[in-house]
Structure 1
């Protein structure tokens, strides 16, 4: 085996430093969340315990943690479902050119480069001027879609760009209607990509701050609640909250990855069974 060049070790060290920079703050928060009852917000640690995790489930003098978590969870699910649905519809529509398709595509992508705080301000003003309530489930929902939909559409554009239309033609030759072709042929084939879009939609919504800041109204989502608590909470309970939300995020990602793996196994098994039948 040939020895690795020096450049390999240099690049590996740079990559390691990048990972440390990326995950170092999260690891620090996780460590500090396990302090003892007399612990503070900085090192050195004062004991080791689960005290602050237990305290997190008690009624807090400052902040509505679990109410904010419920709102973020519900909003994330709404954004996820909407993002998947609209992205699939948009991907199907853009398979053929139509009048204004180029302009529409540019408008969709433009929302990614517009500063998030300006989007938040604009959506909040529109709802306010129209006499509509500024609420996390209405204006906040709309503002977050300007962030998640472009990602979902771009993924679907890439998926359908590689999609083999022969599968649809075969289904139509067998007498399937347009809806039956989409339901029984197209959607099962692109299912792993749909899970990816769903994951993007949920996670981007769950931790979105800037676009929700001026559109959530009187009730905070979890990121806004945590931000508000940083000016009032002076105990490691906020670190415990950060650790739990991080674990929750990784758990969601894990569930989606397992789902993709199961779908892949089922597809492989179905292909194997079909081959044996032939």
Structure 2
């Protein structure tokens, strides 16, 4: 009897191992999807990686592989030689324009989020009016904005017509993100603050803004990145002074050296640095919020 039970246990353990082994095997669809995803990542980031690599060639470098040496020559050439274009000026204008667009987008998106928490007459029309510019071709809309500013007597420049054209692109995105953030805001917190004697402004400053801080950082990030990289809406509205995307485009017409690749590397580093700062700010805000919650308990 004991021998029979031992044989049964051995056979059952083998069966369990067989079932586990069969369950650990991935279906063939997993490998197909993994291959498709790998191809997608390679197609998405492969050209960018090639540009980054070629930007570190020495003075003998060209625009194609094989890579000839390695140095920082083209980065130095980018900011010292006039023949590469007005990189310093265009970068300065793009940063200033992006900062201005970010502030305006953040303020108006926050105000729209507060306003649309309650229904009002014509709210649907106003909403579709705000996001209507998303479906309009960017180049056509930029031409219209430029003509509008000329009609009112304002000469096109990066801080007038280009600002208006870019806001037609960043504001709808900021408002949509703000609506998503506001949908998770509990109005009970506002009611508690008012019960404690806080005014409307104190409620917004001490309750609403701190609670929505991560979402506000996300709106600011959208505004900055969309403005910093915008080309179509800026092409017909920036005037005689280029922003950085326009300067890169003009360099493709007359610059045939890895300086163009070096500029792409620099702009990518700046973009990732801004994104990293915003993500770090969101993580820091959430961490401080968690510490305060633990201390309150």
TM-score tier by shorter-chain length is over 0.9
* Counterpart secondary structure, 1:153: helix
Correspondences of 1:241-252 after superposition (within 5 Å): 241-252=263-274
Match of 1:131 in 2: 153
TM normalised by structure 1 equals 0.97
The residue number in structure 2 matching 1:117 is 139
- Deviation per residue, 1:161-184 (Å, 9 max, x gap): 221111011001101111111110
Report the counterpart of residue 169 of structure 1 in structure 2: 191
Are residue 262 (structure 1) and residue 281 (structure 2) matched? no
How many residue pairs were aligned?
A: 275
Give 1 or 2 for the bigger CA radius of gyration: 2
Match of 2:129 among 73, 97, 107: 107
Q: Which runs of 4+ in 1 moved over 6 A?
A: none
Quick one: which of 147, 153, 165 aligns to 2:175? 153
Shift of 1:47: 1.6
Q: TM-score, normalised by structure 2?
A: 0.91
Distance 1:244 1:62 in 2: 14
Aligned to 1:49: 71
| 1:94 to 2:116 alignment | yes
- Distance across 2 between alignment mates of 1:62 and 1:245: 15
**Equivalent in the alignment of 1:202:** 224
How much has 1:108 moved relative to structure 2?
1.3
Number of the residue aligned with 2:54: 32
How far, CA to CA, are the matches of 1:23 and 1:245 in structure 2? Answer: 16
* 1:230-262 C-alpha deviation (Å, 9 max, x unpaired): 111111011011101101110111111111111
Structure 2 distance, partners of 1:26, 1:232, is: 21
Secondary structure of the 2:82 match is coil
Q: Deviations over 1:40-95 (max 9, x none)?
A: 11112222222111212213224100100000000000000111100000000001
C-alpha separation between the residues in 2 aligned to 1:9 and 1:85? 47
RMSD: 1.0
Q: Which residue of structure 1 lines up, in the alignment, with residue 44 of structure 2?
A: 22
For 2:28 and 2:128, the matched residues in 1 are separated by: 44
- Rounded Cα–Cα distance in structure 1 between residues aligned with 2:263 and 2:180: 37
Q: Deviations over 1:196-240 (max 9, x none)?
A: 000000000001000000000010000000100111111101101
Alignment-derived partner of residue 192 in structure 1: 214
> Where in structure 2 are the equivalents of 1:54-73 lying within 5 Å?
54-73=76-95
Deviation, 1:272, is: 0.7
User: Quick check: 2:84–2:259 contact (8 Å CA) kept in 1?
Assistant: no
Distance 1:4 1:182 in 2: 52
- Relative contact order, CA 8 A, sep 6+: which one is greater? 1
Q: Secondary structure at the match of 1:118?
A: helix
SS at match of 2:254: coil
